[in-house]
Structure 1
Amino acid sequence: MSLAMLSSQKAARESPKGARLNKWKLFHTVREAREALGASDRGLAILNALLTFYPENELSEETGFVVWPSNEQLIARANGISPATLRRHLAVLVECGLIIRRDSPNGKRFARKGRGGQVEQAYGFDLSPLVARAEEFAAMAETIAEERRALKCARERLTLLRRDIVKMIEAGLDEGVPGDWAKMGRVYRDIIDRLPRVPDLAIAEDICDALALLHEEVRETLENHVNLQNKSANESHSERHKQNSNPDSQSESEYGFRNKSDVSGNAGETDNLHSLPKREMPLALVLDACEGWRDLAKGGSIRNWREFLGIVEIARPMLGVSPSAWREAAEVMGDKQAAITLAAIYQRGNEIISAGGYLRNLTERARDGQFSVWPMVMALLRARIEAGNSPPPPKPDDDSTGEGGLSVSPALARSLKKPRR
């Protein structure tokens, strides 16, 4: 005996008189409210078996509410569960208040019938709590159904927010839109890391609220950039039309620079590619020109091209260059030339508005055979000479590279000292 059993018996005594309810609809309601009731799957299978022993489709007081199957009959209709499992889950059904035990003096289950064949006294399992608590079960089932619908909507909203945020961040990187995309990506990852494999309604709604704030921030960043572009286009439409009429003219915003210094060298150097050195650019020469690249290496030392290329995955996210922009550059220029180009862009990062957009522009020029990394590196070396931070002086007849300093050919040394045209 327990307080739950006493409560069930009290509810059964207070059931409405003359009530007639379809037993299978009641079972469906109980199944929907299973979690709130604390019933188990095996317990519901046993309850289903008990209902099959009730002779009518409708539970009513006229027919009686007690069924008296033996354990062997219940086991057979409950898909052959063990006797110990049967006893355990029958106790669960009693504890949940779904059935009541009506035990005989000797503990057997049976019915005593009168002379007319009607049942006068039955000992077994009383199903009257199903009728007495029908409205309570229906309210539980409706609440659970509403929570399930709300969870489904929250998951759908979560999926849409995740998809939109990822696509907008990728669009911002691909289009070279100014913004702290690395930070937004970290915030997104931090939010998603809090999401369990199977979230409940409270967690799903909390994650949705956090993603909604990030979604608004990302969208506003993109919309502000679009509005700024539209405003600039309206204010200087005629000037932009004049610039666009010349296919060889590119605006500073296309190249992504804050000033007019071109990191790829002047036009004459770029157009006369046949006059540039045909041999591979020495690693030491690149490192002297792009000294900031060396600072990204572990220990501040780069000993070979493999270590040089390994810095790409560190510098690319820092510059806001999208993976697609880097892959395209590597396919067109080759891994080594694309890495040198990225190193030069990193060296001049303060002068470049959009590193990703500028890398795409150089990739297109390389595709058309109008770009070489030599002018970029020469421009950076010349800038160091003019700033009084020149590399070690070249040896007269040696064009090899070494870790102790940079050695270049006399012709290359003279080209560095030439005034820019």
Structure 2
Amino acid sequence: MVVFPSNKAICERLNGMPCSTMRRHLARLVEAGLLMRRDSPNGKRYVRKRGEERVAFGFDLSPLYCRAEEIARAAEAVREAEDRVRRLREVVSLMRRDLAALAEFGDEIQPGLGLWDQLRDTAALTARALRRKLSLEDLSSYRTELETLLDQARNVIDGPETEEMNTNDAHFERHHHNSNKESIDIEPALEKGGAAAGAPEADACGPEADVEEPDTRRVPKIPLHLVIASCPSLKTFYQGDVRHWHQLFDAACHVRPAMGISVSAWEEAQRCMGPEQASIVVVAMLERFSDIRSPGGYLRALTSKAAAGEFSCGPMVMALIGRRSAA
């Protein structure tokens, strides 16, 4: 497996690489054992044929062929490492944006607290650091620091006011919201039996639609105050106070029929996401209702992601906060 290109031909195939640079790279490949030189008596590269006999002088590619699997494994390891760095970089970038949004929101509800300045400074320094090419260790360090600050901010913003929503029947009895209104069902093809659009249906908050979940379920990590601040449209359609998670659930039950979300889609969302996160998704969809062609179908798609463990409502809320800040 001997090839015999001239230096000029090699440089042309390398898009005009200088000959000195090309020779240096060839020397490193030879040192690495990937190429072997087969020099002619005069140092030229050529092939000589004598009948059927063929003698070539140039570069022997046999070592490269023998180590092909080893090289492929090394290349795959490099690609995996680069992919880990890329994913971690995206996570750190999202956490930085969340930190900046929490700092702005926290300064509105508790002005003058030194923590908000610390969050802003950290977000700015992290944004500056992300302009550089960071190693996996550096990104992991930034992630740990941001996680700590995000937890501190959530604890300060959320405070003792947010309570865990109990899903037993006795606690939820006063939150059952029966309505005689007809649901605007805009996803008839997804319903059992292909129910026609506009067909009457029972409200998902009735006793027959209660979702049984273990009492050990935890509330979402995102502060309830941040959810309410990101969805001001909720106040237009729901007049009650929303200070606790069960009140947000009641509000979602109230606006759900008018949004055209069917009972089955709502129940499935509660089973896969939990009542609190499903409620966050519904009120967030209400905020961007004009941009969503099929709210019921959209909720089902998010439910499928949640069932696969690929969905979190945090980025959804942060996107709404960012949208309001940019407006």
State the TM bucket, normalised to the shorter chain: 0.3 to 0.5
TM-score, normalising length: structure 2 = 0.44
TM-score, normalising length: structure 1 = 0.35
